[in-house]
Structure 1
Amino acid sequence: MTGPVGRRKPTLIMHFTHIENLPAILDAGRLFADALVGQRLATNVGAVDIKASRRVRAVPCPPGGFVAQYVPFYFAPRSPMMYRIAREHQQGKVGRYPGGDDPLVYLVSSVERVHKADLAWVASDGNCAATLTRFSPLLDDLADLVDWPLLRERVWRDTTEDPDRVRRRAAEFLVHREFPLDLLVGYAVRTPERRDQLRRVLADAGIIDQYVRVRPDWYYGFQRGEVQE
């Protein structure tokens, strides 16, 4: 393990999805990239505009293709995307997924597990939709590509001194096409009630020994406010 400034090893990566999507994911035994997932999702929490941009954002290094052809993972919880989901729930924003972040489940793995499994992957130094974001498929590049100190900060908004913090906080680890669930190290949820619900879902799929941890600090948990047009 490195010190507090650089990349920690193992390097955790996390993908979140609505708990209603878990039965289909468990049945398939894998996560699929957005371009391949089709009608498998029971509840889609992604914004239409963001998904559209990822379908045309090219990945400029091997294995290439477009961002939507990769299964996305973040290097840290409480991402800008989860913040957007939580805030849109709080505001009652029309035309967006309304359920907030409480029903979302983190599926947790590590860079080292993916690399050892010889899966094709690419890392980004920030939001994949931004034109200045850089990509790399090389493990050794992760030390300098990703802003590890920023990923460990709880407050990551842009400042006058550093107006690029939000973009960098959205750095991703992208696994090409599919991610097999046997590479997971466990799951995280917001509340004990969600833990119990997830354990029932896992048991229904014949899985009784998966590690599930309650991590409220990985969520925003904003409460619903007034509906806004």
Structure 2
Amino acid sequence: MVLLLTLPPEQAQIMHFTHIDNMSPILAAGRLVADSAVGERLTTDVGSAAIKASRRAKRVPCPPGGVIADYVPFYYAPRSPMMYRIACDHRDGKPNCYPDGDDPLVYLVSSVDRVHATRLDWVASDGNCAAALTCFSNSLRDLPELVDWPLMRETLWRNTPADQDRMRRRMAELLVHREFPLELVIGYAVRTPAREEQLRQVLRDAGIINAYVGVRPDWYYGFGRGEVRG
């Protein structure tokens, strides 16, 4: 798997993450399905209920339209603000949230050009889809200027006194309408060798032998419960 963000925007890698418990039903279905249609097929839900509700209400202003929850979401970079929230909820033992952190999460990696070549309907955002000032486009020509590509290469994405919009922009997404076929996946990434072997067994059980699985600890936060980092 080519390291992300070294390619031009129209060929950039995109990534969707899900809990490893969800991989067996995903592989059986042969596709990722938008939140508005996934129903009980999601074994372990790592998403925030409030965020999911907002995405079911927020309209997409360009074709094919609908709401954000009608799309399968992909980020352009790892260690997203969403993954940070998941890792922090685990670290802090936050009640009434998914409790297990980012270690069990699996990245499914593809690329913009693979999606575009299949003529799937897609929409790109320039930041957090729930934010009022976020812009959307369904044109490949807009991607170079729409997405803040230098920010996608940064390890730290927090807002600064000089730029209070960094976190929103880091949450830019490629949204694929309704469903995403797994034949467009070019590889998977996990945090540890133990998760790699667990995922390889899930893939073998699904009859998939030669999939690329990379161990990418730098794509994760990996906070322990109650951990304090200096």
Q: One fold, TM greater than 0.5?
A: yes
SS of 1:39's partner is helix
- Residue in structure 1 matched with residue 48 of structure 2 by the alignment: 47
SS of 1:155's partner is coil
- Residue in structure 2 matched with residue 166 of structure 1 by the alignment: 167
- Residue in structure 2 matched with residue 66 of structure 1 by the alignment: 67
Q: In structure 2, what is the Cα distance between the partners aligned to 1:111 and 1:6?
A: 10
| Distance change (3 Å), C-alpha of 1:64 and 1:187 | same
- Residue in structure 2 matched with residue 204 of structure 1 by the alignment: 205
Q: In structure 1, what is the Cα distance between the partners aligned to 2:184 and 2:81?
A: 25
Q: In structure 2, what is the Cα distance between the partners aligned to 1:38 and 1:170?
A: 25
Q: In structure 1, what is the Cα distance between the partners aligned to 2:12 and 2:137?
A: 16
State the one-letter code of the partner of 1:221.
G
User: Post-superposition shift, 1:225?
Assistant: 1.1
User: Post-superposition shift, 1:10?
Assistant: 2.5
- Residue in structure 1 matched with residue 35 of structure 2 by the alignment: 34
User: Post-superposition shift, 1:6?
Assistant: 8.5
Deviating beyond 2 angstroms after TM superposition, the runs of 4 or more aligned structure 1 residues are: 4-10
Q: Report percent identity of matched pairs.
A: 68
- Residue in structure 2 matched with residue 125 of structure 1 by the alignment: 126
Q: In structure 2, what is the Cα distance between the partners aligned to 1:208 and 1:99?
A: 28
Q: In structure 2, what is the Cα distance between the partners aligned to 1:54 and 1:172?
A: 13
Q: Is the 8 A contact 2:89 2:99 kept in 1?
A: yes
* Number of positions where the alignment pairs a residue of Structure 1 with one of Structure 2: 224
Q: In structure 2, what is the Cα distance between the partners aligned to 1:7 and 1:169?
A: 17
TM-score (norm 2): 0.95
State the one-letter code of the partner of 1:138.
S
Q: In structure 1, what is the Cα distance between the partners aligned to 2:39 and 2:179?
A: 13
TM-score (norm 1): 0.95
User: Post-superposition shift, 1:71?
Assistant: 0.1
- Residue in structure 2 matched with residue 185 of structure 1 by the alignment: 186
| Distance change (3 Å), C-alpha of 1:31 and 1:5 | closer
| Distance change (3 Å), C-alpha of 1:100 and 1:131 | same
Q: Is the 8 A contact 2:110 2:186 kept in 1?
A: yes
- Residue in structure 2 matched with residue 99 of structure 1 by the alignment: 100
- Give 5+ residue unaligned stretches, structure 2: none
User: Post-superposition shift, 1:63?
Assistant: 0.4
Q: Is the 8 A contact 2:10 2:143 kept in 1?
A: no
